[in-house]
Amino acid sequence: MGSIIEMVVFLAASAILTVYSIREDIQKHRAALLATEGQNEAVIADALGSWTNDNYASLLSQYTQSGNSTLTAPTIADLKTAGNLKQTYRAGPFWGGSYTIQVSMLPDGCTEQDGNCHVSWVFYPSLPYTRGGKPDVAGAAQIALAANSQGAQFGFSSTRNSGTISGISGTWTATNPLSGTPAAAILATNGVGNDGNSLYIRRDGSLTWTGSQNVNGVDLHNVGSIDATGAIAAPIVAASNVEVSNAVRSPGTLYVQNAAGTDSAPIDTGAAAVHGNATVYGALEIANTATPRASCTSTTGTTRIAANADGSGQILSCLFNQWVPVSGPSPRYQYYAVTNGTYVPAPTCSSGGSPQILIVPQNFYVDTTAQVNTYVTGAGPWTVSMTDGQGADIGAQGVVETYCAY
């Protein structure tokens, strides 16, 4: 009899352990199933986020043209076709229903010109998670937690406040989108009332920054044009070409130096105005563009100078609207002491000048009834003659100045 009782007790204990073991296996299987569902939903939510970034420009254009803030949302198949989903996912969760995606442009009245338009999206199963035909909030929480750990913003509705979806740890809330606002509804979003992805710079440049940026001292490479409405401050600005539409401002002397900063560097410009003294520590070279007696004009308050177009090096100034040598219209070329019959070479005149000579007789004596003749023969070089009325040398001495007349 005792053995039978012991056997019955053993069999009962074994049955109880078997039931517990089956329940534990079921719980483990259920937990793994819920975690897998959460991970799948997280992958879809991440794909939806990347799709929104890739298509922001077209979504903004759609909103601008229609004026309707509700935008055309992609399907799960669209995300796969666009390449945002790397593998095929079923169109709904394992407990039934389908995945729903909604996309909208916020805030109301935003404009492309103001750069304040943001895309907001939500993703959720069309049915709450149920167990035994009743909403299972604990199971919904497990799914949301597993999905949220992947980086997306997931939440669920509770029995106490089923009309509101609360993010994990209560970081955000949203209205329950399911009919009847049941508990155990699961939802993911990129930001309630805004665009969570607006934290990032859009690759298509369609979203403007709203605040100052700090790039933490790193370099920017392969940059195109930079337009600035304020100051660009840098200890060194290196560029192969610099276009300045207004002014280059320096608190002191502006130096143009070589790349190493060890010496001055040449500068080549067009017309330049210097409103102060100009000090040149080397030769001053000016263009060979002027022709003597040609017309010219000077800006009011200034005088123009240029070099003779023949390249001789003669400097001319614009005098009374004509180019005239800076030494005067008849600059002296050479000085000679002469007597009767002296040979005087002609000056070498720059283009536009004609050789001239001036004789000044000195120290001579003639009879008071005699005639004194002083003259030169030739057009340069010349022969000096100082004679009396009979053509005889009067033994005079004199000086000759040669010059070029312009």
The domain boundary residue, chosen from 199, 224, 257: 199
Which range of 94-98, 369-373, 394-398 scores highest in mean pLDDT? It is: 94-98
The domain boundary residue, chosen from 199, 230, 246: 199
Residues 38 and 185 in one domain: yes
Residues 58 and 185 in one domain: yes
Token code pair at residue 145: 């937690």
Does the pLDDT value for residue 6 go beyond 70? no
Alpha-carbon gap, residue 336 to 382, rounded angstroms: 12
Neighbours of 347 (CB within 10 A): 21
Nearest-CA neighbor of 199 among 155, 143, 153, 164?
Answer: 153
Residues 315 and 336 in one domain: no
Read off the pLDDT of residues 252-276 as tens digits, 9 standing for 90 and up. 888 888 888 889 888 888 888 888 8
Per the confidence metrics, is the pTM higher than 0.75? no
Exposed, middle or buried: residue 129 (CB in 10 Å: 0-12, 13-18, 19+)? Answer: buried
Residues 193 and 46 in one domain: yes
Residues 294 and 398 in one domain: no
Is residue 338 a part of any domain in this protein?
yes
DSSP 405: E
* Containing structural domain, residue 302: 288-325
232 φ/ψ angles, rounded to the nearest 5 degrees:
-110, 110
What is the structure's pLDDT at 204? 63
Nearest-CA neighbor of 139 among 29, 28, 42, 34?
Answer: 34
Residues 190 and 52 in one domain: yes
Tell me the pLDDT of the chain averaged across its residues: 82
First to last CA, the chain: 154
Residues 116 and 44 in one domain: yes
CA 74 remoteness from chain centre: 35
Amino acid (1-letter code) at residue 269: T
The domain boundary residue, chosen from 199, 218, 240: 199
Is residue 47 a part of any domain in this protein?
yes
Alpha-carbon gap, residue 73 to 301, rounded angstroms: 72
Q: How many independent structural domains does the chain possess? A: 3
Read off the pLDDT of residues 190-219 as tens digits, 9 standing for 90 and up. 865 545 444 455 566 655 666 677 778 888
Which pairs with CB-CB distance under 8 Å and at least 24 residues apart come from 371-380? 374/398, 376/344, 379/346, 379/355, 380/346, 380/347, 380/355, 380/356
- The average pLDDT across 109-120 equals 84
Alpha-carbon gap, residue 406 to 403, rounded angstroms: 10
